[in-house]
Amino acid sequence: MDAPVRFRQQGLIPDSFKQDLLNRVDIVDLVERYVRLKKAGANFVACCPFHNEKSPSFTVSPTKQFYHCFGCGAHGNAISFVMEYQGLGYVDAVKELAESAGMQLPEFERRGPKTEPEGPDLYEIMQRAAHYYREQLKSAPAAIDYLKARGLTGQVAARFGIDYAPVGWQNLQSVFPDYAAKALKDCGLVIDGEGGRRYDRFRDRIMFPILNQRGSVIGFGGRVLGEGEPKYLNSPETPLFEKGRELYGLPQARTAIREAGRAVVVEGYMDVVALAQHGVECAVATLGTATSATHVQKLFRQTDEIVFCFDGDAAGRRAAWHALDISLPVLADHKAAKFLFLPAEDDPDSYVRSHGREAFEKLLAEARPLSEFFMSELRSQVDMATLEGRSRLIHEAKPLLKRVGAPALQLQLLKEVAQASGVTQEEAARLTEIRGVAPARHTHPAPAKGPDRAMLVRKLDRELLACLLAHPPLVREVPAEIVDVSHAEGRALEALMALDGIEKLTHAVILERLRGSEHESVLERIGGDFLEKGMDADIAQAVFNGAITAIRTREPNPRIKELGEKEAKQGLTASEYDEFGRLIAEGAALKQRRTPPSTVL
């Protein structure tokens, strides 16, 4: 029996229950149910179950209770593994894991009217509906003719399970005798109209079943066959279906994505199907909603390159800019996001049917890198011929640059913004409040120049994060005054410090508490780093002490902070610049004497 409907809708699982669950489940035992593991030192390794590989890069840590793939970046705890491997939603994954551990998932009453404590198997209901729609297609010549006119073969239609919902208001009553059952509405199959009259949501539409990662039907997209609005009608949010988490065609495209080395994100069901028909099988579509960070994270676990393909009109460019914006925090320096804009009169469906596979793949090869699209869009928003326009460019870039999760890319973008605005990189760093780039206007040596100093600042915070993930009790020893929240690593450090006080704080619990936050991708990367280096509790303590010392000696004198703030706001006098440079140089020398060599990052 599936989880109670009311519980899955509420989704309120106490943190204490999840912590107890993660402390009870052994991730090695869990993963070994599905993947053959081999001992390798303190950890276990295997070929990754989430991407194709010949040599093992998938590592499971029994002491830290998490897994990490050095090939595709898959990373998480026991709950994450069940979600990814079995294609389950979050609550269903927790329920299954709890049952395997002999724990009873608690239930909670929703605010408002009570509902029945148990519900039917919603997956089974969706499967019955899909079977009904499939049978209806066989006796619907108009629907078959429509699909043939769009150039689809029976093989491709079968691959995507394309079906037909016939004309009529209550056709599903023949499939579900209890047509008034609440579960039908919970699945999004029916609508309760005025006066309590219930009717089918999908009528006279070509049906595109939406599958989760294990191949179960969780929703539908329906394209009107004749005239009518809306042209496309999608399932509503249901206990099974969250638009912001799912991608149409991903189960069918997964193998092709890995083979092609890229995923193509398009906007429509027919775009995915038409591209597959013409041999471009690595495409997926968002489901009537904008691209989400979860979409991007899910695809980056499959491949290192995502190409967002949009129409070339204003709406397409707005959608592309949104995709860029939400991608920034989850980017890594070894991952690439690109953008392809089709001619104004085309979408992927029409283009590939008119020009063929080779022409479309040529466009894919010429897709614009994120950095190029980033700069061109910013320039288009301002008047670059004026001082005011170039100043505004920095203003517009500031919140975007601060959200970039890839350190090297952030510095490269900062450099491009500085050059376009006619200022130095150091001045741009100050104006955008990206800490770590040293002033260049005095003659005294700084601890490090430009990007090197910025990388040092983030490197030290990465070392601290690695130590806290390797040995979470250290979170209680982080001095609050050293935390710099102007970059992603510093904000993640602040988030970990907020977990102080949790009993039995572990790496797995940290990942769970920060699931879905802006810090998740940062912690995933750093978790992989310290796993590869083999950091135990003793090493973590030693590196932690060294990192704290190094951070403190970045600004050993409060006068440095005072002068730095004044320089940022109103500038310094010549004598103050001399003093500022001298103090920085003294701090650099002190740091070299005190800081032990890093053993981790």
Q: What Cα–Cα distance (Å) separates residue 451 from each residue in 150, 410, 592?
A: 53, 10, 19
Asked if omega into 113 is within 30° of 0 (cis), the reply is no
Q: pLDDT band at residue 587, thresholds of 50, 70 and 90?
A: low
Is pLDDT above 90 for 284? yes
Determine phi and psi for 266, rounding to 5 degrees. -120, 180
- Residue 358, number of CB atoms within 10 A of its CB: 9
Kindly state the average pLDDT of the residues 580-599: 52
Domain 381-432: give its CATH architecture. Answer: Up-down Bundle (1.20)
- Looking only at the bridges linking them, the beta strands covering 190-192 and 198-200 are antiparallel
Give the Cα separation of 482 and 460 in Å (integer): 11
Reply yes or no on whether the pLDDT at 474 is more than 70: yes
- Top-level class of domain 122-234: alpha beta
Residue closest to 163 by CA, chosen among 135, 201, 122, 124: 135
Over residues 109-137, the pLDDT tens digits come to 433 333 344 457 899 999 999 999 999 99
Give burial (CB, 10 Å; 0-12/13-18/19+) of 115.
Answer: middle
Please give the average per-residue pLDDT across 149-161, as a whole number: 94
Task: Tell me the pLDDT band of 142, cut-offs 50, 70 and 90.
Answer: very high
Task: Enumerate residues 6+ apart whose C-beta is below 8 A from 37.
Answer: 28, 31, 44, 45, 46, 60
Least confident of 46-55, 315-324, 377-386: 46-55
How far out from the chain centre does Cα 253 lie? 18
Q: How far apart are CA 150 and CA 156, in angstroms?
A: 12
Question: Taking Cα atoms as reference points, which of 591, 461, 597, 472 lies closest to residue 542?
Answer: 597
Q: What's the burial of 211, exposed, middle or buried (CB within 10 Å: 0-12/13-18/19+)?
A: buried
Q: Which fold has domain 5-100?
A: DNA Primase; Chain A (3.90.580)
User: What's the rounded mean pLDDT across residues 71-100?
Assistant: 84
Instruction: Determine the Cα–Cα distance for residues 585 and 339; give it in Å rounded to an integer.
Output: 44
Residues β-bridged to residue 206? 164, 223
224 strand-pairing partners: 205
* Residue 379 burial (C-beta neighbours within 10 Å; 0-12, 13-18, 19+): middle
Q: Select the more confidently predicted residue: 296 or 539.
A: 296
Please tell me the distance from the alpha carbon of residue 394 to that of residue 165, in angstroms, as a whole number. Answer: 52
Helices H / strands E in the chain, number of each = 26, 16
Q: How far is CA 132 from CA 36, 159, 220, 243, in A?
A: 39, 17, 13, 24
Q: What is the pTM of this model?
A: 0.66
pLDDT tens column, 408-448: 999 999 999 999 999 999 999 999 888 655 444 433 334 44
Residue 297 CB contacts under 8 Å (≥ 6 apart), including other chains = 330, 520, 521
Element (H, E) at 489: helix 488-497
pLDDT of residue 519: 85
Which H or E run contains 594?
Answer: helix 574-594
Domain ranges of the chain: 5-100, 122-234, 250-375, 381-432, 450-594
**CATH tag for 250-375 (out of 3.30.70.520, 2.40.430.10, 3.40.1360.10, 3.30.1330.60):** 3.40.1360.10
> Mean of the per-residue pLDDT values for the chain?
84
Residue 72 and residue 459: Cα distance in Å, rounded? 23
CA-derived radius of gyration, the chain:
27
Alpha helices in 332-386 (DSSP H): 348-355, 357-365, 370-380
User: Does domain 450-594 fall into CATH 1.20.1560.10?
Assistant: no
What are the residue ranges of helices labelled H in 341-485?
A: 348-355, 357-365, 370-380, 387-401, 407-421, 425-432, 450-470
Confidence of residue 13 (pLDDT cuts 50, 70, 90): confident
DSSP 248: B
Per the DSSP assignment, residues forming a β-bridge with 192 are 198
